[in-house]
Chains A and B, each alone.
Chain A
Amino acid sequence: MADTVAERGGGLFEAYKGYNPRVIFFYPVVLLLLAVLAGGLAYRQLLRTEIYAEREKVQNQRRILVPGPRGNIYDREGQLLVGNRPRFAVVLYLDELRSEFRREYLKIRGAYRESGDKDLPNATQMEQIARFTVVDRYLRVINKALGRTGEVDAPALTRHFRSQLLLPFTLLDDLEPAEYARLLEQLPVTSPLQVYTSSTRSYPFGAAAAHTLGSVKIDDIDVAEDFPGADLKTFKMKGTTGRDGLEAQYDSVLQGETGGTIYRVDPAGYRIEPPLARHVPVQGKNITTSLDIDLQLAAEARLLENEMAGTAIALDVHTGEVLTLANVPSYDLNETSPRISTAKFQEIEEQGGWLNRAIQGAYAPGSSFKILTALAGMRSGWVNPDSEVDCNGYYRVGNRLFPCHDGHAHGKIKLAEAIAKSCNVFFYKHGIETTPEVIATEARRFGFDQRTGVELPNETRRMLVPDPEWKKATGRGPWQPGDTANFSIGQGFLDVTPMQMATFTASFARGQTRTTPTLIYQPNRKPQRTEAIGLPAAQYDALVLGMEECVSMPGGTAYRTLTQMASMRIPGLRIAGKTGTAQKQTPAGIINFAWFICFAPVENPQIAIAVMVEGDTPGEETGGGRYAVPVAQAILKTWWQKQQRATGTPVATSAPAAVPTARD
């Protein structure tokens, strides 16, 4: 014992000498523990390598996605209606400025310490100050080079640095070509300042067909499921999606294919060149619309002359392809790209410019509906080509006198002349005889109670074909004979869209009942075949004759505009049309809707048109013959000139004195 104490007391460290068998007991335990550790290490390092490789990848790799440009939209002759224009911006790659940020930070910290300022910012604040200072320095150089006065948006810079470090920070946007060229030549290839190119929508024809083509809005980009790096932290550039019109309807077709780059980053999130993988963005598919931009421009120009809201639709009679879909007021699509200002949005809103009247407006069709009333009367046996009425300017229904067109007394008048001169009395009488149920059934046969199905979003459902049952069901009381009188001349409860009137006209011209309009051009599209109109040839011809005389016979409601005025004649083209002037009671008074439906050439119908112009002054006569017919004339004239050029026929430059009528 004493020896042991002596041994221990002699040194600073306690030592054990000799062999103790009890220690053997611990060897297996230690070995077992070591084996467990080695096994665990081997398990993680050899067997679970994929998991750690994946974790390392997720931690150290970043994915940057850029949108593919949208596809173009063309008219039927290949003219570009919607394309993409490059948008140049000068950007700063913040992740390349790491050392500059650090130097600036140290400089700022040193300056604060030297000054002995009590309100010393904390490290985060000083980092922000350093970043702002460096970025501002770069921006000032650009400002000097381009003569601009851009300023750094400090909150935007902070947000960008925190969440989008790998994406370039935009210093100046929408550079002019000269500015872009200047920077291109003066910026060193390796500078963190670079000219960045993106695409934005471009509309060569400005406001033309704005409601049909539609606009786009800035939105997140979609990524294909099989796009590599789905598990990586991803930075996305903004893309666009269709807001309305064809842009919205065919968004999935027009949308470009997203591209992207995968980078390795260091622990602070800064990019390490070169990229690990790169996928180039691909432009979306193009669309060729059925629109004819020449007809479209002609229609819009003439609609604008009216200085009233309105719409015009032209269809290919056989295929239903929409040749023109014009709306005023409209808006320049270029002002919506890449984004529309709030002030501009409000301005268009106040003008009612967002409304696509052709498919979203429901209006009483007025006398243009008389063709359907006559058709219903013929099919029910109440009307035939020789039906005659003695018009003394008014028609009594119960105790109420219903006036004829402009209060005129037409005297004894037959069907064709009643159509040509738009004699209300003729249609009051025969409409009441035909009954509202039959007229409504006939209207439904032509699809007036349904949407046309044109490939545009937000087509209204507010169209209405009334009948006694409907009136009773909606609590408006029993159907009165006066309701039938109004219904017969396209007034009262009846509401249709201008597009419906265009499809009705095309169907009628083809001798059928339905036309499905389409905005997509197909060179060899088959003619539409639907239920036949169901009239004997003589009866159908009488209706067409009335429509042709509306244009060509003195006293016809479109005669003065389309035939009497030499400048408005279209030599060689026989037109069948029907005007209409519907009235609507508003709080301010009665306003008119001017209508004109027509097709041409009479002998071989090719084009069908419907025009509607909204009167804007209560009490003012906004007649179809005066306001709607010139719009159709502008479309027909352009169309006829193109037809003649296509067939090699010399285009007539001066009109003959008179056009022979069908009766002549």
Chain B
Amino acid sequence: MVVIAWLLVPTAVKRFSRLTFFEVQAPLELAPSYVRDLQDYWSLRTRSQNDLIEAGRDLARLTASYELRVQENGELRAEVARLESLLSLPTFNSYRPEPARVVRRDFNGWWQRLVIRKGRNYNLTVGAPVIFSGGVVGRIAEVGAYTAVVEMITSPGMRLAASVEGDQRPISYQGGLNAAFAAPRGVVEFVPLDLFAAPNSPQKLVTSGLGGVFPPGLIIGQMVRLEPSTDGLFKSGEVQLDPRLSELAEVTVLVPLAPEIPPVGTPRP
């Protein structure tokens, strides 16, 4: 009956439904997210006054230390700007950090995605890098009115220009086929032959900054295995990613202040 009813619906309505499905669905995902936050709030309300006072003090100390770091960062930023000016270096892309709560995690063998609780309402853009305290999370794949979908670096559809820390040469990083509960892994290709990595001597893989999307130096993971390819031109290998990627509750979107060009694979007619 449902199928028959759907067949009878006018084409315009069906087309509209398809296009707006994500937006229509979004509140259903947002609501449980807000409920979870409320649940957390009430669970905190059950704590004693002493616990709250102690937590308040810890928070004050943390805030003070962050204030200090913010001040240091300001000084460092000014120094970097001075040196860039002296050496006539191009300025790095600037980003606006936008923290966002994770609404839903969508992990399977084909893709690994997060839905976050901010979208066009915070001027998020497709392609914007997403990070957390452990490094790269992924990049924004879709932006809705109030939510956005993040394609994670664990996803096979995610590829970026990486480099080994301290080495400028670009390496291709791509997410692997990750099972739902397995330790997240990725693969590297086009690794120069003079680089070596093994489980007991891993190499830190960071973003190269050459790709124009991710700023340089963000941690991707640890290269734990490298093997020469049969054609003798490069090595390829395996990257161990941060296990916390599968339990993220909050991420930060780096919204480019001067947006780069969008991904180039799909020209518009």
Contact = CB atoms under 8 A, between A and B. Distances in A.
B263 interface: yes
B233 A184 contact: no
B169 A184 contact: no
Interface stretch (B72-80, B211-219, B246-254): B211-219
Contacts of A68: 231
| Most chain B CB inside 10 Å of its own CB: which residue of A138, A182, A256 | A182
B221 to A, nearest CB: 16
Contact of B233 (A86, A138, A141, A145): A86
A178 interface: yes
B231 A280 contact: yes
Given A181-B210, A281-B230, A187 B264 contact: yes
A182 B233 contact: no
A187 B210 contact: no
Contacts of A461: none
A183 B211 CA distance: 7
Contacts of A283: 230-233
A191 B230 CA distance: 26
Interface residues of B, number: 30
Interface residues of A, number: 39
A176 to B, nearest CB: 10
A186 interface: yes
Interface string A117-158: 000000000000000000001101110110000000000000
Interface in A619-638: none
A184 B160 contact: yes
B266 interface: yes
Interface string B149-191: 0000000111111000000011010100000000000000010
Nearest to A146: B264
A188 B211 contact: no
Contact of A145 (B156, B161, B261): B261
B127 to A, nearest CB: 8
Nearest to B156: A189
Contacts, number: 99
Given A182-B211, A189-B157, A140 B233 contact: no
A187 B265 contact: yes
A231 B214 CA distance: 48
Nearest to B192: A86
A186 B267 CA distance: 12
Interface in B20-65: none
Most buried by A among B157, B160, B190, B264: B264
A138 B267 contact: yes
Contact of B264 (A69, A186, A189): A186
Q: Is the interface of B mostly helix, strand, loop or mixed?
A: loop
Interface in B227-269: 229-234, 261, 263-267, 269
B147 interface: no
Contacts of B229: 280
Given A184-B159, A189-B156, A137 B267 contact: yes
A20 to B, nearest CB: 56
Nearest to B234: A86
A193 B264 contact: yes
A280 B227 CA distance: 15
Contacts of B230: 280-283
Given A86-B234, A197-B190, A199-B231, A185 B214 contact: yes
Interface string A170-203: 0000000110111111111111110001010000
B210 A177 contact: yes
A234 interface: no
Most chain A C-beta atoms within 10 Å of own C-beta, residue among B157, B159, B267: B267
Contacts of A294: none
Given A137-B269, A177-B170, A181-B161, A187 B233 contact: no
B211 A185 contact: yes
Given A184-B160, A186-B263, A84 B212 contact: no
A144 B265 CA distance: 12
A447 B174 CA distance: 62
A142 B174 CA distance: 21
Contacts of B267: 137-138, 140-141
B203 interface: no
Nearest to A86: B233
A86 B190 contact: yes
Report which residue of A107, A181, A182, A197 has the largest number of chain B beta carbons within 10 angstroms of its beta carbon.
A181
Contact of B170 (A72, A180, A186, A192): A180
Contacts of A191: 265-266
A187 B269 contact: no
A566 to B, nearest CB: 42
Contact of B169 (A103, A141, A177, A259): A177
A104 interface: yes
Identify which of B169, B190, B231, B269 gathers the most chain A CB atoms within 10 Å of its CB: B231
A84 B233 contact: yes
A185 B216 CA distance: 13
Given A184-B161, A186-B213, A280-B230, A141 B174 contact: no
Contacts of B261: 144-145, 186
B208 interface: yes
A450 to B, nearest CB: 39
Nearest to B159: A189
Interface string B112-135: 000000000000000000000000
Closest 6 pairs between A and B when the two form their complex, measured CB to CB: A185-B211, A191-B265, A181-B210, A283-B232, A181-B161, A181-B170
Given A177-B170, A181-B170, 4 more contacts: A177-B210, A184-B160, A184-B211, A189-B158
Interface of B: 156-161, 169-170, 172, 174, 190, 208, 210-214, 229-234, 261, 263-267, 269
22 contacts: A69-B232, A69-B233, A86-B234, A137-B267, A138-B267, A142-B264, A145-B261, A180-B170, A181-B211, A182-B211, A184-B161, A186-B213, A186-B261, A187-B159, A187-B264, A189-B157, A189-B158, A189-B174, A190-B265, A191-B266, A197-B233, A283-B230
